[in-house]
Amino acid sequence: MYLVGLGLVFLTLKFMEIGPIAMWDWWIVLSPFGLAIAWWAWADTTGYTKRKAMEREDARRLDRIERNRDAMGMLRSKKKGR
């Protein structure tokens, strides 16, 4: 997402002819979009995206379980001294 944002900033600065970016070639200005496409393709191909989503879901699930245990007055197994 950072690459898309950077590409939008570069594109705006090039189009409005602001700063040194106005002198850059178009392929340099548009390169963050190509890098973003390459990143997304790699992340989807290797399973990085799905793995990160599963880690977030697991963390939320464990947090919910812990909150419910605390609400019921049960101690975690780590707190019991095992």
Domain that holds residue 37: 1-46
Same domain, yes or no: 51 and 77: yes
Same domain, yes or no: 28 and 51: no
Q: Say if CB 13 and CB 22 are below 8 A apart.
A: yes
Averaged pLDDT of the chain:
89
Same domain, yes or no: 54 and 76: yes
pLDDT at residue 42, as a whole number? 93
pLDDT < 50 stretches in the chain: 82
Q: Tens digit of pLDDT for each residue in 3-18? A: 999 999 999 999 999 9
Same domain, yes or no: 25 and 53: no
Q: Say if CB 40 and CB 72 are below 8 A apart.
A: no
pTM: predicted TM-score of the whole model, two decimal places = 0.64
Same domain, yes or no: 52 and 35: no
Same domain, yes or no: 38 and 6: yes
CB atoms within 10 A of CB 21: 17
